[in-house]
């Protein structure tokens, strides 16, 4: 499979994590478990289709989830993927995060008549770099027209990412001069998970990425990623993946987002091929 990667323009930092393009001429189906991460994946199918937990989809958006999602390509495939922050997904897709959580939604139900026009333009565009530029402009236009979230939610979201989920929710509420109940309600509506659950997901994502990058002592990773001890880390890992860290690393290839070197801090490099 050919994989092409690109980062968003600087104006979309905080909304788009990265873009990826995939092309495979192999008709043999490939099944894999997509692990939870702290964002929303949007898939634009230029050719082929997908089975998501056994249900057929073309283009779709996958909301925040706390369990693995089984995907399988149907025949040869060509697609563009946008990894969005939950707030970026809210702006692009026009729905609050809670409406996407735990769901896979057909993209036509979210973008309406804009979707077939966008897919056609992407399919007719020859290079991946030009496709990513076209997509970046489309996302930027939608984001600019969206109503921003409240300053309290934006600040809470930023603080959880700054601390990789290590900041306690009661401390975060004190920073924002509000109650934890108020914060949980506002944050959960916009992002899709309450702040405590989202922070837990960020801790897991960071720990899993650390293990993939350089397998090392699990206790050390647990401590560095904000877990009370390795037992807590193992419990969270099993809850999110259904298996142990050692077993997962031995059987599951890393997601494409792990191949990026902090794309949120990179401004619009050209697409590059990372595999075939």
pLDDT band at 257 (very low <50, low <70, confident <90, very high): low
Distance CA 199, CA 38 (A): 9
Same structural domain, 58 and 160: no
State the total domains in the chain: 2
Q: Nearest Cα to 21, choosing from 94, 107, 80? A: 80
Same structural domain, 211 and 270: no
Same structural domain, 201 and 259: no
Same structural domain, 184 and 113: no
* Higher pLDDT pick, 72 / 273: 72
Same structural domain, 172 and 125: no
pLDDT of residue 214: 75
CATH at 163: 1.10.10.60
| Residues 5-15, mean pLDDT to the nearest whole number | 94
pLDDT band at 150 (very low <50, low <70, confident <90, very high): very high
Same structural domain, 141 and 23: yes
Query: 51 lies in which domain range?
Result: 2-147+255-275
Same structural domain, 89 and 155: no
Distance CA 191, CA 197 (A): 11
Same structural domain, 170 and 98: no
Residues 6 or more apart whose CB falls under 8 angstroms from that of 135 comprise: 19, 44, 80, 82, 118, 122
Q: What percent of the chain has pLDDT over 70?
A: 90
The encoded tokens of residue 161 equal 């990412």
| Rounded (5°) CA angle 19-190-106 | 55
pLDDT value at 113 more than 90 = yes
Question: At what angle are helices 169-176 and 151-162 packed, to 10 degrees?
Answer: 140
pLDDT value at 275 more than 70 = no
pLDDT band at 259 (very low <50, low <70, confident <90, very high): very low
Per-chain mean pLDDT for the chain: 88
Distance CA 184, CA 54 (A): 33
pLDDT of residue 272: 39
| Pairing, β 40-52 against β 60-62 | antiparallel
The alpha-helical segments, DSSP class H, found in the chain are 86-93, 108-111, 114-124, 128-145, 151-162, 169-176, 180-191, 195-213, 218-224, 230-241, 245-251
**What letter would DSSP give residue 35?**
P
Q: Nearest Cα to 133, choosing from 123, 117, 122? A: 122
Same structural domain, 23 and 159: no
Same structural domain, 207 and 265: no
Residues 6 or more apart whose CB falls under 8 angstroms from that of 119 comprise: 44, 45, 46, 59
Global pTM value: 0.88
- Give the tens place of pLDDT for each residue, 158-191: 999 999 999 999 999 999 999 999 999 999 999 9
| Residues 115-130, mean pLDDT to the nearest whole number | 96
pLDDT band at 248 (very low <50, low <70, confident <90, very high): confident
Same structural domain, 31 and 83: yes
Same structural domain, 72 and 131: yes
Find where tokens 């494409």 sit.
256
pLDDT value at 51 more than 50 = yes
């Amino acid at each position: 499979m050919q994989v092409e990667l690109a980062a968003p323009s600087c104006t979309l930092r905080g909304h788009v994590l990265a873009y990826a393009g995939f092309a495979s001429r192999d008709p043999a189906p490939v099944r894999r478990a997509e692990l939870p991460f702290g964002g929303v994946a949007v898939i634009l199918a230029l050719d082929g289709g997908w089975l998501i937990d056994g249900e057929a989809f073309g283009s779709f958006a996958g909301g925040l989830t706390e369990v693995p999602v089984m995907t399988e390509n149907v025949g040869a495939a060509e697609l563009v993927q946008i990894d969005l922050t939950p707030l970026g997904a809210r702006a692009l897709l026009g729905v609050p995060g809670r409406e996407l959580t735990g769901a896979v939604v057909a993209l036509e139900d979210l973008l309406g008549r804009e979707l077939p026009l966008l897919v056609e333009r992407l399919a007719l565009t020859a290079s991946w770099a030009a496709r990513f530029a076209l997509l970046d402009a489309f996302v930027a236009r939608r984001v600019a027209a969206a109503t921003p979230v409240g300053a309290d939610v934006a600040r809470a979201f930023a603080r959880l990412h700054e601390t990789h989920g290590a900041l306690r929710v009661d401390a975060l509420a004190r920073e924002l001069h509000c109650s934890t109940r108020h914060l949980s309600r506002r944050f959960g509506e916009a992002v899709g998970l309450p702040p405590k659950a989202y922070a837990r997901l960020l801790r897991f994502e960071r720990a899993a990425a650390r293990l993939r990058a350089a397998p090392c002592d699990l206790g050390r990773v647990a401590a560095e990623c904000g877990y009370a001890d390795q037992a807590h880390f193992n419990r969270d890992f099993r809850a999110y993946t259904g298996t142990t860290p050692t077993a997962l690393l031995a059987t599951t290839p890393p997601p494409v987002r792990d191949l990026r070197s902090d794309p949120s801090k990179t401004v619009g490099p050209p697409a590059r091929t990372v595999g075939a």
